[in-house]
Amino acid sequence: MRGGRGYETVLGTEGLMKYGPAAGILTDYMNAYIYNSNYEDFEVYIEDGDRVLIVTNMVFSQSTMSYLFKDTEVCHYSIVDPTTYDERLLTYWELYPEKKPNVIIVDCWYGWLYEASDSWIMQYIENEFGYTGVIDGKYIRIYRQ
């Protein structure tokens, strides 16, 4: 059972995580809904072998668990929450060029970006990443080269 708001027992839960590494976990409605939606978006928009950086700060987010949804390459030096997104990533990618992402995923809420537009990572995405396409899932925005 995943902790949430408004319940103390299994009978009080309102959601079930249906797929992937958390399949079968009971939680509150929104946690389950966002997890299941993100899993479905990964199935459609992320390809096995993609090099993925997940930018996650949203409260309901499944955070870095999404790296387990597909056979992808993790493009961050740490997956411990909370994860940092700053210029140290550039140093990491310089040392390990095979870890430089071709896909960056950022938390959003039906098209409303959940990362400050003036943050380092958003400035990197907009000015240096060189994406050629953007896809809005329900709770993630996908930037793809």
pLDDT per position as a tens digit, 56-97: 876 656 678 889 999 999 999 987 766 889 999 999 999 999
Cβ atoms 15, 29 nearer than 8 A:
yes
The predicted pLDDT at position 94 comes to 98
Write out residues in the chain with pLDDT < 50, as ranges: none
Strand residues in the chain grouped as ranges (E)? 15-16, 26-27, 51-55, 73-74, 103-109, 112-113, 133-136, 140-144
Return the pLDDT at 4: 55
pLDDT of 64 reads 80
CA–CA gap between residue 79 and residue 12 (Å, rounded): 31
pLDDT, position 6: 60
Give the three-class secondary structure for 11.
helix
* Residue partners of 22: CB distance under 8 A and separation at least 6: 2, 35, 62, 65
Angle at the Cα of 45 from the Cα atoms of 39 and 47, rounded to 5 degrees: 95
Residue 96 CB: number of other CB atoms within 10 A? Answer: 11
What is the per-residue pLDDT for 9?
A: 64
